[in-house]
Structure 1
Amino acid sequence: MGAPRNSVVHNVIDVLRCFSSEHPLVGVTEIADQVGLHKSSVSRLLSTLETEGWVEQDVTTRKYQLGLGLIAVAGPLLANLNVRKVAYPYLRELAETTQETTVLAIWEKSAAVTVEQIASERTIKHTSPLGSRYDSTGSATVQVFLADMEPSSIQKLLDQEVTRLQPGWTRAQLTQRLDKVRQQGYATNLRETFADEVGIAAPVYDHRNQVVAAVLIAAPAYRIDEPSTTQLIRQCVETAAKISTRMGNPESAENASAATALKR
């Protein structure tokens, strides 16, 4: 039999859940109203949490915010979260839903590298074996990672020719493409690197809101039309957002909700 809902532990959890990215500063009265406790009880709980560094009181407003002490608790979990391990069940679900190959890529120096793949069960498919490297800006995964970089870093990669500019593209066109990727939250490779392949990629964020990986759907171009492209984009973005949530990213739930409105 579980602990009663009014236990001290549950009360602490309820109090901590009152803090969010939208409401980082919360007062005693607001917390009391949300959790259904008397203000004196909330004050005692907050005082205890403050001594542990789990909450801090803002000097100006006298309201509370989450404290750095929580990092000591969450740190070991966050440090041990392996994006490949976290992503695997979501990639498998995405492959089953789309019936196309799904891939997880990470950035290594100058290229996107495949670290996980769930191959499509269809006879005709596109695959990306583990360890495959993609260094062309036409690649959807490469675009995802470049879109998260400073312009100076991108220019350095191109100047050194370790990351290749897609044939036919200018640097100005690449800048426009990356601006679009940042704005819409996904990248596409619609027969641009290979005439028979379509690639759709979306970023995976960690708890620091940094891009740590990219989810890719790879499919033969002949069976992908405009409606199916829109559907694959939505599914790819939703899956990347789910993985980001599991990686501790606070904004990924909103990204998943917005995915239903995506257009190519």
Structure 2
Amino acid sequence: MSTIAKALGLLDLFCDAQPRLGLSDVQRLVGRDKATVHRHLVALEQAGFLEQDAGTRAYRLGPALTRLAGMRARTVPEVEMVRSVIGGLSREAGELVHISRLQGFDLVHVHHAEEHDHPVRVSFDAFGLPPLFATASGKAYLAFSPGGLLDLALADPRTSLPGTSVPDRREIETELKQIARLGYARNRDTLRLGVSSVAIPVFDGASRAFATCSIAYPTGRGGKGTEARLARLLMQRGQDITEAMGGVVPPQILDLWTPSRERAAS
């Protein structure tokens, strides 16, 4: 690893749990000699990637990162951010993969990929996305968002299918709790007979759910085994998807998405 890469790698040590780190803290975390770590920290501070508190001498993330993050958000469309990771996931899953962003309670299409050779495919309409309670994506969003959003969603008629009754609150709460335990949402023949899907939330820079990623597939392609395989793929790529959109996955969600044997090996 180059000297520049080692220095920039120190930025990954900062997180919500440890927003400020002293020289000794950084040295302990990376296991390098004190002089080298100090040299890297000083270089990052001079470049604006870190700033040092004059009183405590602890370092925190600097203003250059805010400027660069803002520039990326202004100059790189969301589609370009996620195109490669979503395309790769579609090839690996062999199914339709779709990213949608929540605006109010409306699902808004961001990008989708269907890079497989199956003759039987799920039809997709980017301009006619269904309401929240009819989709795995909508349920994934609600399950990993603040509880007050459920009250607002239940009160908004756009969140249910036209002509259907208001969803039962207790049934919805039970399902959302199950989704929060599993790490993903699922639908089977609910919106359209013969179509199933699994979905996960996508998080923003403040670790808040703001979008979703789903895999849709013909129900006839398989039962619970297919669902489990696709959900596992989706969760394995969850961090890549969130980071491609400039976000951060909360640690507790990352634990849900990471098999225990992988955590033990890391």
Q: Which residue of 2 is the match for residue 162 of structure 1?
A: 158
Where in structure 2 are there 5+ consecutive unaligned residues?
261-266
Residue 93 to residue 253, structure 1, CA distance change in 2 (3 Å): farther
Give the SS at the match of 1:155.
helix
Q: Distance in 2 between matches of 1:197 and 1:11?
A: 47
Q: Which residue of 1 is the match for residue 215 of structure 2?
A: 217
String of CA shifts for 1:146-194, please: whole Å, max 9, x gaps.
Answer: 2344444432333231211776941111122223323332110022223
Matched, 1:86 2:86: no
Write the letter of the residue equivalent to 1:220.
P
| TM-score normalized with structure 2 length | 0.77
Q: Distance in 1 between matches of 2:190 and 2:234?
A: 19
Q: Which residue of 2 is the match for residue 187 of structure 1?
A: 185
Matched, 1:38 2:10: no
Q: Distance in 2 between matches of 1:48 and 1:216?
A: 38
Q: Distance in 1 between matches of 2:58 and 2:209?
A: 32
Residue 114 of structure 1: CA displacement?
3.1
Larger of the two Rg values belongs to structure = 1
String of CA shifts for 1:220-264, please: whole Å, max 9, x gaps.
Answer: 1112211221111011222332111223334379856753549xx
Residue 105 to residue 15, structure 1, CA distance change in 2 (3 Å): closer
Which residue, out of 236, 239, 242, partners 2:240?
242
Which residue, out of 95, 101, 111, partners 1:100?
95
Give the SS at the match of 2:230.
helix
Residue 81 to residue 22, structure 1, CA distance change in 2 (3 Å): farther
Write the letter of the residue equivalent to 2:175.
R
Give the SS at the match of 1:230.
helix
Matched residue count: 255
Q: Percent identity?
A: 17
Write the letter of the residue equivalent to 1:224.
G
Give the SS at the match of 2:190.
coil
Q: Which residue of 2 is the match for residue 24 of structure 1?
A: 19
Q: Distance in 2 between matches of 1:63 and 1:212?
A: 32
Q: Distance in 2 between matches of 1:112 and 1:135?
A: 7
Matched, 1:199 2:197: yes
Where in structure 1 are there 5+ consecutive unaligned residues?
none
Residue 184 to residue 38, structure 1, CA distance change in 2 (3 Å): same
